[in-house]
Amino acid sequence: MNKILELQDITRVFHLGSMISRVRITAVDRVSFHVGSAEIFGLAGESGCGKTTIARMILGFEEPTSGRIIYGGKNGKPAAGKKARLAARVQMIFQNPFEAFNPLRQVESYFFETVHNFHLASSRTEGLARIDKALEAVGLNYKEIAGRYPSEFSGGQLQ
């Protein structure tokens, strides 16, 4: 299997407080996993277990205290061009999806915007087919979401 992302023994420690009374918080402790090409990967766990910190390290917003992140077989942060390509394939889904959506905008517009921005289809018909296929993979279909606003969905559906 071609690994596009691998985390090896990742740890992230935060030091909070002043120099006199510092508190050490281990947000992520020796986590390892890999994601293969064309694989769909979900990171789930209890509140406060480090999911967001792991995602922030993968996306380059945080540095691991120890361990390695390997992108496409290469250790360390990807170069700017590769980082842009990685960002097109790796997405972070926020815990509170209601904050991620404009309540006055129909949800379907986000799908078409994504298809357009990442050049995933050459026509609206092809784009609609791709959107419907992606929605079916999570138990929805385009007819169910067309014309609806974020407030008309459950939090899980929006994620």
Read off the pLDDT of residues 64-109 as tens digits, 9 standing for 90 and up.
Answer: 999 999 988 776 665 556 655 666 666 666 667 777 788 899 989 9
**What is the tens place of the pLDDT at every residue in 133-159?**
888 888 888 888 899 998 898 877 777
Give the residue from 75, 60, 59 showing the smallest Cα distance to 9: 75
Tell me the domains of the chain and their CATH numbers.
3-89 (3.40.50.300), 97-158 (no CATH)
Mention every residue, 6+ apart, whose C-beta is less than 8 A from residue 3: 34, 35, 36, 37, 70, 72, 73
pTM of the model: 0.58
